[in-house]
Structure 1
Amino acid sequence: MIGAEQFAAALLDQDYQFFSGVPCSRLTGVISVLSSHEGRYVPAANEGAALAMAAGARMAGTRAAVLIQNSGLGNMVNPLTSLVLPYEIPVLVVVSLRGWPVGTDEPQHNLMGNATKSMAGLCGMSSMLLEPSLDSLEEALARAQKADVDGKPFCLLVPKGTVAAANPAPSPPNGVLSRVDAVRTVSERARDAAIYSTTGYTSRELFAAADRPGNFYMQGSMGHALALGLGSALRRPDRRVVVLDGDGAVLMHMGTMSTVGHLAPRNLLHVVLDNGTYGSTGSQPTTSPTVDWPALARANGYRDAWLCTDGAELRTVLDKALTQPGPCLVAVRIRASETDVPPRASAELPLPGIRARFEHELAVAHGDS
């Protein structure tokens, strides 16, 4: 296995000076090491933005690399095929292989795990599967160097167990309320609503605390819980829809907030649990400390918005938000550090089963069956 410090040192020795990405738990050690070098690692809202920033750094004369999970490769297709490749901007793309080999990971990773290598090729990127040795890393970086000379990006595929972990950076102070208490409070107050919960620990906490057919646990598609809830809210104006979101997920596809405000569904409540980190990938920091959530929501057309910092305030605000016309946003500052994390919903329920019972519950509530 390659040490995280060794992996990072090899990149720096090859004069890579700018790094960006969206964290993956399998690259958390490398990101932690690079982040310890001030100004080297820039957290991106999404993978496409990470690639564009890296391309901009390369055009400014700095060798640049992007570190992502293969599920985010889809977010990179547009800037890859319409910016980096046609303009011949060489960037190193380090991709962790989730869902590969197929059947060794959570079900939401299987399709991309099987398609990653061929997808990179279809997009015009040369790639190499990294083995857990420094010799393999040396060969990969030599290939990346050749691609760089040719003005081409290069994709380094990193399977599980190839790169070791490292001590994560300490979580920044953010709030006093725990995620589980915040999730339970929302679930108790919104027990008659259809609840969409975002990927990561939020869905795990909701499943453990208050599993019911009216909960939809989104285990992939980071950043799209709000769009998912919006679609249902528009088609079911008779039903309260609550989207239980995270700060990193909202920032990834923040433009959906503008769509919500423009269409203004009166039955939609958007709850953002803000811990200032990507909790399920190693607690790397997000950029949420500089976000004014109520101001952002109102600027996008939400009818009302609040920021809560403790349980009592959250309960009071939810009682108000769930009884007045939306769309409304409730942001909650929660603790960044959590020790006990429940299992995923898919440990007990198949993903199609989660969808089927949710759809059935909505249909019954609508009188369709």
Structure 2
Amino acid sequence: MNVETFLRVLGADFYTGVPDSLLKAFVNELLHRYPNDPRHHIIAANEGNAAAIAAGYHLATGKIPVVYLQNSGEGNLVNPVASLLHPDVYAIPCIFVIGWRGEPGVHDEPQHVFQGKITRSLLDVLDIPSVVVRKDTTEADLRKARTTFDEALMAGRQVAFVIEKGALASERAIAWKNQYTLPRERALEMLLDDTGDAAIVATTGKASRELYELRERRGEGHGHDFLTVGSMGHASSIALGIALQRADARIYIVDGDGAALMHMGALAVIGQAQPKNLIHILIDNEAHESVGGFPTAAKNVNFAAVAKACGYRASYEAENEAELRKALVSLRTEEGPVLLVIHSAIGARNDLGRPRTTPQENKQAFMLH
């Protein structure tokens, strides 16, 4: 289905959410229609944040907002759906558009398989009626579903369109860039030259994939790295849990700007705990690159200053190889927690692969190391 048809049937004029690769055509169209206009479209930090923004829109206008997300973000929706939007509380209507990763019978990555199985049943538990938009769904089918949802929306309930892979199409494509030139993979390579036997906890997305392939090329094995293939935004908290129990080990976090924004409170908890062995590397390309390269709010965030304000002992920034090399030398003698923000270009190799080990194999190798 053409995404313009889908948007026309939704009939909304406010959208917020977290981008998903299955919704790339959808988000591209929104960014084209509403460039730099947060009154009509805003990319949120996480799905709960999006639901709350949508609630504010409804309170101000009386209209029905749309919240979009990958199904992995349903967990972040549970609290605001159950304690804010639900008819037993404030009865705030909302339309959810959910990318269905891990749909049963469709091959996907391990972190999406269980979430795919429970996507619609979780919506049922939350009392949210849903329909699946498939490749062969017609405009008439969609309008019928939208009409069926009207009664629920009028009663202050929420409804969901669950989007099958490839169901939405568009010829429109927006290529996002930033001002930086340092490739993320090169930054990671320089980091590995400096970390030695330290343990690394890497965030979900292309950073983990590049880290895996760098280890392969270097013949170093994968026991040093915990690749957080799902659970976006929680790599830093996983690393904190490790660092507090293993004061004898140097622990590095490889984070991303989108992930850091998603659960930014983790920085305050790290600052409070003061783990001397924790080094936080935040690769900031101002984009949700792994799901289409859509912009984050990071362009307006000074992560180095935020970390210091949260209690980190020191923070550094680098945007080229010379600055990165100098910062890495300084980190060798720094007590944590310390943050290094690496400003990198958007982009990855076209032939970038995925880890060939299972998450449980990764866990066992990491724990053994």
1:115-264 mapped onto 2 (5 Å cutoff): 115-131=118-134, 132-211=137-216, 212-264=222-274
SS in 2 for 1:119: helix
Deviation (angstroms), 1:76: 0.5
Matched, 1:32 2:28: yes
Deviations 1:157-198, CA, capped at 9 Å, x for gaps: 111121125433221323110011011111111122100111
1:22 to 13, 18, 26: 18
Q: Where does structure 2 lack aligned partners over 5 or more consecutive residues?
A: 217-221
Q: Distance in 2 between matches of 1:323 and 1:145?
A: 62
2:302 to 292, 303, 324: 292
- Is the contact made by 1:303 and 1:328 (CA closer than 8 Å) also made in structure 2? yes
Deviations 1:41-75, CA, capped at 9 Å, x for gaps: 20100000101111111111132100101100001
Residue 95 of structure 2: aligned partner: 92
1:332-351 mapped onto 2 (5 Å cutoff): 332-345=342-355, 348-351=356-359
Q: Distance in 1 between matches of 2:273 and 2:351?
A: 36
Residue 219 of structure 2: aligned partner: none
2:282 to 272, 276, 288: 272
Q: Distance in 2 between matches of 1:23 and 1:203?
A: 19
Deviations 1:318-344, CA, capped at 9 Å, x for gaps: 121132101000001100133425111
Q: Distance in 2 between matches of 1:200 and 1:174?
A: 21
SS in 2 for 1:232: helix
Give the number of aligned pairs: 355
Deviation (angstroms), 1:17: 0.9
Q: For residue 33 of structure 2, what is the amino acid of its counterpart?
A: H
Q: Distance in 1 between matches of 2:90 and 2:127?
A: 13
Residue 59 of structure 1: aligned partner: 59
Deviation (angstroms), 1:124: 1.4
Q: Distance in 1 between matches of 2:264 and 2:278?
A: 16
Deviation (angstroms), 1:103: 5.6
Residue 9 of structure 1: aligned partner: 8
Deviation (angstroms), 1:156: 1.3
Deviation (angstroms), 1:102: 4.8
- Is the contact made by 2:185 and 2:348 (CA closer than 8 Å) also made in structure 1? no
- Structure 1 residues 32 and 264 mapped into 2: Cα distance closer, same or farther (>3 Å)? same
Deviations 1:242-270, CA, capped at 9 Å, x for gaps: 00000000000000000000001000000
Q: For residue 266 of structure 1, what is the amino acid of its counterpart?
A: K
Q: Distance in 2 between matches of 1:273 and 1:341?
A: 21
Q: Distance in 2 between matches of 1:343 and 1:165?
A: 26
- Is the contact made by 2:99 and 2:165 (CA closer than 8 Å) also made in structure 1? yes
Deviations 1:3-28, CA, capped at 9 Å, x for gaps: 122222332xx2x1110111100001
Residue 78 of structure 2: aligned partner: 77
Q: For residue 65 of structure 2, what is the amino acid of its counterpart?
A: A
Residue 50 of structure 2: aligned partner: 50
Residue 108 of structure 2: aligned partner: 105
Of 171-180 and 223-232, deviating more is 171-180
Q: Distance in 1 between matches of 2:193 and 2:145?
A: 52
Q: Where does structure 1 lack aligned partners over 5 or more consecutive residues?
A: 362-369
Residue 329 of structure 2: aligned partner: 319
Q: Distance in 2 between matches of 1:343 and 1:205?
A: 8
Q: Distance in 1 between matches of 2:214 and 2:246?
A: 26
- Is the contact made by 1:198 and 1:246 (CA closer than 8 Å) also made in structure 2? yes
Q: Distance in 1 between matches of 2:273 and 2:139?
A: 53
Deviation (angstroms), 1:136: 2.3
Deviation (angstroms), 1:135: 2.1
Q: For residue 280 of structure 2, what is the amino acid of its counterpart?
A: H
Of 243-252 and 209-218, deviating more is 209-218
- Is the contact made by 1:204 and 1:341 (CA closer than 8 Å) also made in structure 2? no
Of 2-11 and 327-336, deviating more is 2-11
Question: Normalising to structure 2: TM-score of the pair?
Answer: 0.93
SS in 1 for 2:65: strand
Deviation (angstroms), 1:148: 1.5
- Is the contact made by 1:30 and 1:166 (CA closer than 8 Å) also made in structure 2? no
Q: Distance in 2 between matches of 1:216 and 1:313?
A: 27
Residue 367 of structure 1: aligned partner: none
- Is the contact made by 1:189 and 1:315 (CA closer than 8 Å) also made in structure 2? no
Question: Normalising to structure 1: TM-score of the pair?
Answer: 0.93
Task: State percent identity of aligned pairs.
Answer: 35
